Amino acid sequence: MAPNWSFGRNRFLAHRFGEILESSGVTVYYCQGDVDHNRTVTAYSGLPDQLEAVTMELAKEAFAAIDLNHHVGVHPRVGALDVCPVVRMPGDKSPESEAAAQALVSRLGERIAEEFAVPVFLYEHSETGKHPFDLPSLRKGGFGGLVGKILTPDFGPSTANPLLGVSIIGFRDFLIAMNVNLRSPNPGVAKTLASRIRDLRKDEPGFEGVRALGFLLQSRKQSQVSLNLTMPDRTPIDPILEWVRKHAEIAGVAVAANELIGVIREQDLEHATRLPYKPQQVVERID
């Protein structure tokens, strides 16, 4: 699982997340917040009952502290628990594991909607036909765009929670999230490169399934090309990072650093020589 939470500046809440995850019995790969995004990404694995319990405990802590009316950050978001992907371990393609993942999605969706009055939208392989299936479409307009709208969630009320927004939960394929940070406080180059990548993915080999956004990182006096590789089996990492480096330098901007957000599969490392990672971020294949 890789839940994304709309906080990145609350040190007490970050500490509580660490305590909860450490004592939960799950395997923790990642728990890191970012000041500029004002977002925390978590990634952990375990038995379905463990995953359900720890996610609900994290939600209880986060929902008591987050008010999206006062939330400021560069990352798009529609909820306090903005998106909660359920992902199988690499190499596990059994019908049984997919059924268990879908059951976990349904249980979490029902509980979050019922216990916190948060509308829940199912996405990707869990989507049921009531609304768009993809994350960018479901996030369009952000939290502010939900105000006053009648919604068609899969679980919960038909209006957004006034403090917590909505949550997007679903079973999806593995993706790689990474950033290229640029040595410029002007986000113009980052936004232009992200826009070009979105155009290239339509018909350019090597860019299939690559999502990209450009951001200002005010606290670092840098800018960022934020990337999601949604088809990592068809889109190696190094060529994407090299393309961003090359075209940023053509525009007169140097790369400050590459960052891996969340986890990476062991099988991806061969083509990720430009992407720093910590050993605990590597998820081993199940054969």
From the candidates 75, 131, 247, 271, which is the catalytic residue?
75
Local structure of residue 269 (DSSP, 8 states): G
What is the total residue count of the chain? 287
Asked if residue 163 lies in contact with residue 68, where contact means CB atoms within 8 angstroms, the answer is: yes
HEC secondary structure over 177-222: EEEEEECCCCCHHHHHHHHHHHHHCCCCCCCCCEEEEEEEECCCCE
Q: CA 83, 86, 89, 94: dihedral to nearest 10 degrees? A: -150
Catalytic residue flag (residue 37): no
- Rounded CA-CA distance 193/251 in Å is 10
Any bridge partners for residue 176, and if so which?
229
Using only the alpha carbons of the chain, give its radius of gyration: 18
Catalytic residue list: 75
